Structure 1
């Protein structure tokens, strides 16, 4: 399993940003191996993190190589005040089952 964490400082969003963002989310969710996502905001810094969960690096790379993902990456400075992406391999995941999590459900076939 892998995660891709996109952390950013929000800027000024417009209709084009929202349309592209929605389309990329739709593309990600349609890729076999997509497990789910979470969003977190640090109110002290104003940073936002979107964490996406993947069954494999190949699944993640399908999104990263998609033309609309590349388009968003090239245009990000119009809408964001900075960003950072971290790709990580998940070594283990556990909990008491009291909260739903993308890694606590079985992978989709």
Structure 2
């Protein structure tokens, strides 16, 4: 399994930003191998992170090669004050089952 984490500093959003953002999210959710997502905001820094979970690198690469993703990458400076993307392989997940998580059902607890 893999994660793609997109962390960014908010800029000035407009209708085009929201439309493209929703299009990319819909594309991600339609890709076989998409497992779920989470979003986090750090109140101290104002940064936002969107974490997408994938069952394979191939599934993740489908999103990265989609025209909507490439369009957003080219236009990001209009809406954001900076961004960072981290692609990571999931080695293990575990928890007590007390909260829902996109990977809770995909790997056994260790």
Q: Does the alignment reach a TM-score above 0.5? A: yes
Pairwise CA RMSD of aligned residues? 1.1
Q: State TM-score, norm by structure 1.
A: 0.96
How far 1:105 sits from its partner (Å)? 2.6
Give the number of aligned pairs.
107
1:1-109 equivalences under 5 Å are: 1-106=1-106
CA distance in 2, matches of 1:16, 1:90: 33
Structure 1: which 4+ aligned runs deviate by more than 4 Å? Answer: none
| Runs of at least 5 residues in structure 2 that lack an aligned partner in the other structure | none
| Runs of at least 5 residues in structure 1 that lack an aligned partner in the other structure | none
How far 1:5 sits from its partner (Å)? 0.3
Q: State TM-score, norm by structure 2.
A: 0.95
